[in-house]
Amino acid sequence: MFLLQKNKTYLAHILVKGLKDKFPPVISYLSDIMATVDHFAKLIHKEILSGELPGFIEILECLKPALKGKNAESAIMAAGTIARIGKFYERIIEIE
């Protein structure tokens, strides 16, 4: 929870510069998010239907700093995660 405090600045710092300049923990974090992307998409859809967009924006805002990171692998993984959220969300909409 600490990572999301103080306007997510600590999380942003880690995503951009790594954890003590090491990126395996960042890649692991992004992998965990990628593994649960279908769940994120369902939560986003539920929030949109209820008119509560801030949660959706928060998820994407947390990933955005990784796109500007020093490590190409973590930037690509963040972009892939955002794309997968979009794809899963699109499938949810098609089902309805």
**Entry pTM:** 0.75
pLDDT tens for each residue of 44-76 = 778 878 877 666 677 778 888 899 989 999 999
| Residue 6 vs residue 52, higher pLDDT | 52
CA-derived radius of gyration, the chain: 14
pLDDT score, position 1: 46
DSSP annotation of 96: -
pLDDT score, position 75: 93
Burial annotation 27-50 (CB, 10 A radius, 16+ → b, else e): bebbeebbeebeebbeebbebeee
